[in-house]
Structure 1
Amino acid sequence: MATGAQERVGRRTQEQRSAQTRRKLLDATVACLVDYGYAGTTTSKVAGRAGVTRGAQLHHFGSRQDLVSAAVQHLAAMRTAEAVAQLGAVRDSGDPVGALLELIWDLHDGPLFVASVELWVAARTDPVLREEVAAFERTVDGAVAGAAAGLFAPDVEREVLNFVYTAMDALRGILISGFIDPGSGRPRRRWDRACAVLRKAIDPAALVYRSAPAGD
């Protein structure tokens, strides 16, 4: 007969396996959005990409809508974590404006942004998805811009916040237009040109870093 400790270990192991399967399915959903677009992201493709059975997929997500909804939240968490992880590079830079602009580029130049765009386009004609994606974008954008602005002294925080939002808006337009000419390098050239203009919108001499909390 299993002891209480053995039962707890077995339950934890089962929960870990379940969480691992769920993570595989969500990662596979994001990958399918990038490779096949929203319309081509089917539950069977996701299960195959994740290397799990259809039964396992249905156990975790009973419908495509359930799967996509969870993937939206998963994508938001990944994009936010990626941004926070890179913020230290801004504080360590001798060129805070340039570091902010490069951080914004890095956060958008990759598959997570492509998957996000697929969701944006699909949400235009899907009211349920639109509500979820709108909440996801508020979370991600607020976290990225807020964390970046929070690096600086309170009297310039609003200025930095507006700068980051404006830069993200500009870059997203550049990258989306670049989808029609992949591999050309044009988006980066256009971004560098935009950065020259964006730099004039903020005074780097006014960007004083917020004091680090005691113990850091």
Structure 2
Amino acid sequence: MGTVSLPKQDRSRATRQRLLEAAIACLAEYGWAGSTVAVVAERAGVSRGAAQHHFPTREDLFTAAVEYVAEERSAALRTLMPRGGPDRTWAVVTALVGLYTGPLFRAALQLWAAAAHEEQLRPRVTSLEARVGRESHRMAVELLGADEGRPGVRETVQGLLDMARGLGLANLLTDDSARRDRVVEQWARILDGVLR
């Protein structure tokens, strides 16, 4: 009895996904300088040639990886969110802050820092950040059930995302969870006041 092999297209898709996930893990752990295509390929368990077949340049690989993981996290967040209840705002704020305190944010931050010094990377990261920022804002509005037609609501939702990013930065060097929990509670109260 022979082994069942996946069709070529499925194998290619699986290889691509492994490369993207390995790229995020490497960026988060080793930073831009330590995250070469060879390091990512080894972590993903594929040849460097296979990696370059999917992503011809290092910039292609890492910008695609941040975009892919951001989309995956957004999709997962939508399925986890409660649709109502007294703790809905708190749950949404907690989940959004969680996006900025995990490996995705750490990896994205490495990419942003590299883009500040690498001309060929900067326009791609700027464009990616604008798309991810718009999607994060849209997702926050949807999850909170916010009416942006009301004065101050758009700015408050954007303030939530800016605050979440700041909490993510504070968490990079030390475990900031105790302070973060208090800030999340306060932002949930503020949002409830503005949104209701």
Taking a change above 3 Å as real, the CA distance of residues 14 and 22 of structure 1, as seen in their structure-2 partners, is same
Identity in percent: 35
- How many residues align? The count is 191
* TM-score (structure 2 length as normaliser): 0.81
Q: In structure 1, what is the Cα distance between the partners aligned to 2:40 and 2:109?
A: 18
- The answer for unaligned runs of 5 or more in structure 1 is 1-9, 208-216
Match of 1:75 in 2: 69
Q: Return the match for 2:125 from 109, 114, 133.
A: 133
Match of 2:41 in 1: 47
On the 8 A contact 1:26/1:71 being kept in 2, the answer is yes
1:17 maps to: 11
**1:120-154 Cα deviation digits (max 9, x unpaired):** 21121223322222222222232232133235264
Work out whether residues 30 and 71 of structure 1, in 8 Å CA contact, stay in contact via their aligned partners in 2.
Answer: yes
The SS at the match of 2:35 is coil
Give 1:82 deviation, angstroms: 3.1
Matched, 1:100 2:92: yes
Query: Does structure 2 retain, via aligned residues, the 8 Å contact 1:79–1:140?
Result: no
RMSD between superposed Cα atoms in Å: 2.7
| 2:136 aligned partner | 144
| Corresponding residue to 2:102 among 88, 97, 110 | 110
Cα distance per residue 1:84-117 (max 9 Å; x no partner) = 233x32x233133322221222222321111111
For normalisation by structure 1, the TM-score amounts to 0.75
The CA distance in 2 between the partners of 1:26 and 1:200, in whole Å, is 37
Q: Which amino acid aligns with 2:187?
A: L
Q: Is the 8 A contact 1:119 1:133 kept in 2?
A: yes
Consecutive unaligned residues of structure 2, counting only runs of 5 or more, are none
Higher relative contact order (CA 8 A, sep 6+): 2
Indicate the structure (1 or 2) with the bigger Cα radius of gyration: 1
Give the stretch that moved more between structures: 18-27 or 157-166. 157-166
